[in-house]
Every structure is written in C-alpha cells, then in structure tokens.
Amino acid sequence: MRLFILTLALCLALPAQAELQYRLQPRQIAEDVWLLEGSTDNFDPRNGGNIVNTGFIVTSNGVVVIDSGPSRRYGEAMRAAIAEVTDSPVIKVLLTHHHPDHVLGNQAFAGVPIAALAGTTELLREQGDAMAENMYRMVGDWMRGTEVVLPNETLEPGLLEIGDRRLHLLQLRGHTGADLAVLDESSGVLFAGDILFHQRALTTPNSPGLDVWLADLDRLEATPWKLLVPGHGPLSRDSAPFEQMRDYLGWLDGLLRDAVASGADMNEVIQSPIPERFSGISLTRYELIRGVSHLYPKYEAGQLQRVDE
C-alpha cells in the first residue's frame, strides 16, 4: 500500500514538474544581439518570476550575458536558449543590479566570470538570502534548488572590449544605488537595466531618491543609443520610455511632497488617484503602495525641523 501511495504521488508530481519550463524564445534585435523578453506582470507561480528582460551578445570571443534571470531553472533555460543560437561558449555574465529577478540564475553559469559593480555585489551579499526566500514564497517550486551566487569579478565604469565588441559600461544609482547600463557600440543597443521601465510601473525599494533617478535618465538618454532595452517592458527605438519615466517620477515626487505638506498619513497617500495617462502602465496601484511605503518616511523626515535648531 505504501509503495502504491508513493508511486501515485510521483505520478502526480511529474506533470507538475514538467510544466515548470520557461520555454525562453531568444529574439534577435540587432546583429549578434539577442533578447529574452519577460512579461510586465508581477511575480506569480504562473510565470515563474519571468518578468524581466535579459539578453546576450555574441562576440568573436564568445557570448556575453546581460543578467541571469530569477532562478536557477531560468538560468539553465537561458543557457539552453543561447546554445540554440550559437556554438560559442558563454564567457562572461554582466549583472545590471542586485534585485532577484536579475541575478538568481547565476548558479547556471558556474565556471563563468560573473561581473558586477562593487556596490551590486555588496547589496547582494547583504540582501540576497532574504530576497531569495521572498521569491520562494512568491513563485514556489520554480525556485527549487536556487541559491544566491555572488559575482566573482568587479566591474569598473568605462569601456569593456570583448572580442570584436566595445561595450560602454555606465555606473548609475537611481534604482538601487548601484546600477549598471551597457551600451553595445556596434549595434547601438542600450541595455538600461531597471533605470528604465516601460509600460510597467517602476519599483523603488533601494532607490536613493527620485531626483537621483531623474538625473540618471538624463545621462542615459544622452548616450548614442539606437535601440532601448528596458529592464522591464517592451523595446523602443524612440525616447518614449524616457518620457514616460520622467512623467511618472515627476508625478510621484509631486504627490509625496504635497502629501507631506498637507500632513497626510501613509494610508491616505496610497489611496491617491492615479492619473488617467498612466492607465496603460502595468501594476501602477501595486507599485504606488510599495513606493509610498519605501519613500514616504524619507519625505516626511525631510520636512521635519531639527529639534536642536
């Protein structure tokens, strides 16, 4: 009887495990540049956390990966997808920042240099285990076997030459305090990381300030890009993502400043109406609630007069 129950349990589990496949479809967006585009939804067991844009560049020396995705299973699927495109080996992984949907696929790249800004590595060391645990809660079995793997190489901003490609590495701060953007000189493709969201509300848990983020947008837009790859959302060949981000950040900043001036409490602010022009952006209410919880205390503190003055 016990053997029958065990066999039945295994039979029931196998179809469920078989469904946990990302089925990543690489899309060529420029010569030797490929995109793996995620949805603009929230983390969910139905998507396995595949809400992020990752990519890879095939150089004459091998493949450079931009972000490893939200889980070991994703990273493995990514390596399989790369192998469908090219026989060239993966020779480097570049991480744009430390958030879990961008880095928890690192395990799949054992033996490959995984490079990040020093600040990204430190943030992942401090927050990685907690973020991984939260991902387990949000997407369940997709995360099975996933562990935090820290970068083993430190990036410096500037020019990185790999084979026949010249990659310009930009060090930014607006999203997490340690953000990397990568501009491929040959194609003009700009992997903006989460400094740029498009048609998806931005996230703010580690932002040092919306003013810093706005300054980063100015710097990014001034680079000689031809095609924008946001961290989340659809590609663009024009400045629409920058315009949308500035509009949204400006509205959010004004909302928080006005709320502090009027003495509103946090619960009132999260119920604020969202402008109609943002109705097509995914997860605006959800991210407004999170953004207020992350940012409002700083805005309140900025309005308080020091007691020793």
For residue 26, the domain's CATH number is 3.60.15.10
Whole-model pTM over 0.85: yes
Asked whether residue 164 is assigned to any structural domain, the reply reads yes
* Sign of the C-alpha dihedral computed for residues 267, 211, 234 and 165 taken in this order: negative
| Domains identified in the chain, total number | 1
pLDDT of residue 140: 96
Range of the domain at 176: 18-239
For residue 288, being part of any structural domain is answered with: no
Domain-embedded: residue 95: yes
Is residue 31 a part of any domain in this protein?
A: yes
pLDDT at 19: 80
Residue 168 within any structural domain of the chain: yes
Whether 247 maps to a domain, the answer reads: no
Which pLDDT value is given to residue 91?
A: 98
Q: How many CA atoms lie within 13 A of 289 on its CB side?
A: 5
pLDDT (tens, 9 = 90+) of the chain, 309 residues, equals 443 333 334 344 433 445 899 999 999 999 999 999 999 999 999 999 999 999 999 999 999 999 999 999 999 999 999 999 999 999 999 999 999 999 999 999 999 999 999 999 999 999 999 999 999 999 999 999 999 999 999 999 999 999 999 999 999 999 999 999 999 999 999 999 999 999 999 999 999 999 999 999 999 999 999 999 999 999 999 999 999 999 999 999 999 999 999 999 999 999 999 999 999 999 999 999 999 999 999 999 987 544 344
Rounded CA separation 297/160 (Å): 39
Residue 10: inside a domain, yes or no? Answer: no
In a domain, 213, yes or no: yes
